[in-house]
Amino acid sequence: MIDITEDSYREGRRGKKLRPFSSSAEVSHRRCSRPLERAVTDFGSDVPFNRIPFKMQEHHGITIPISTARRITLRHGEKVESFQLSSRSSEMPETPGVPIVIAQTDGVLVPTVVTTGFSQDGKKVDKRKNRQVQWREARLSLAHQAESKKSTYAANFNDVKETGRQLFDCVIKSGAGSQTQIHGVGDGASWITSQFEEQFGTQASFLIDFFHLCEYLGKAAKSIGEDTSEWLATQKQRMKENEIRRVLYSLSFFMENPDVPNEEAPVRACYRYIDSRPGQFNYKGALNDGLPIGSGEIESGNRHVIQDRLKRPGAWWAVENIQPMLSLRTLRANDNWDNYWFTQSVAA
């Protein structure tokens, strides 16, 4: 038997509906219980929204509309973003910290769509006939101690400065302090190198991803002609020995004429790529210290954190829904799922 409290009785006398079961089960009218919201969000962070009703029916015997599943998932994604911001570090600790932290960041294109129900002259139209689709960049950051493979992740949509702050926070959460050496690896995009410099200054060293460099060398080798496999292997080994000037000297013999367009001059492109990035090819030092010279970790992270959910075939995302989903994905990747739902239970 469910007891009807005196307060509930008085509400009934004032014309309000008595909902004794809702009161006893701690659920609200037209709302979902916290465990149900958790189950829905769990599925929503991993599978398309239109698959959630099938998953809920199969695993829990509950029928839930797609619109409700979407609303619940995205609402908790927004809450997770605030949850993550509440624990963000903004200053480097004065304590020495761990010896070395490896940090990486990179972008991945996400399909987005913008719809409007109005034409240019202000008349209402079918949204499906008035939509704009484009690819926009989401950015993932990670950091971990040199002797560990357990990374801390953060993701951001369309804001380079915020990505830098997230990268800094990942480094701090990985145990960095005032004496920590921060080893960065990336593809050399200007926004990546600028954020490493802005966030860490001289405390960080940045290394161009060796395999990205090899793509430039490989294109240059094909342009040279003849049997270039030996030439290419020699240049790769020279780069690993920090013999950068010798590589540039070798490239200079095959440089295209100035009147050749840049897009048709792979040797010139390779030369400029290396020459314009001084101090970013210390492969010998990294290899001697047992540190990575490739950015495979962040590329793998892009696949399992971002692309597995946000780049499914046929999926196009409303811009405002991308950051909430990124927050959910990094929450799971950081093993903070239980911590977040504990805070929700306490707040309920």
What pLDDT score was predicted for residue 128? 61
Amino acid letter for position 192: I
Per residue in 21-73, pLDDT (tens digit) is 556 655 555 578 899 999 999 999 999 999 999 999 999 999 999 999 999 99
Q: 17-31, 244-258, 272-286: lowest mean pLDDT where?
A: 17-31
- 162 burial (CB, 10 Å; 0-12 / 13-18 / 19+) is middle
Rounded Cα gap, residues 108 and 285, in angstroms:
29
Query: Where are the chain's structural domains?
Result: 100-209+294-315, 212-275
Extract the tokens encoding 41: 């969000």
The mean per-residue pLDDT over the stretch 326-337 comes to: 97
What pLDDT score was predicted for residue 315? 86
Rounded Cα gap, residues 168 and 164, in angstroms:
6
The CATH code belonging to domain 100-209+294-315 is: 3.30.420
Check if the beta carbon of residue 108 is closer than 8 Å to that of residue 135.
no
Residue 342 neighbours by CB distance under 10 Å? 11
pLDDT score of 225 more than 80: no
Rounded Cα gap, residues 207 and 79, in angstroms:
36
Rounded Cα gap, residues 307 and 309, in angstroms:
5
Identify which of 149, 140, 145, 156 has the alpha carbon closest to the alpha carbon of residue 104.
140
Provide the pLDDT confidence category of residue 17 given band limits of 50, 70 and 90. Answer: low
Rounded Cα gap, residues 195 and 69, in angstroms:
37
Check if the beta carbon of residue 324 is closer than 8 Å to that of residue 77.
yes
Per residue in 191-200, pLDDT (tens digit) is 999 999 999 9
Amino acid letter for position 181: Q
Q: Are strands 100-115 and 317-318 parallel, antiparallel or unpaired?
A: parallel
The mean per-residue pLDDT over the stretch 222-230 comes to: 81
The distance from CA 271 to its chain's CA centroid, rounded to whole angstroms, is: 31
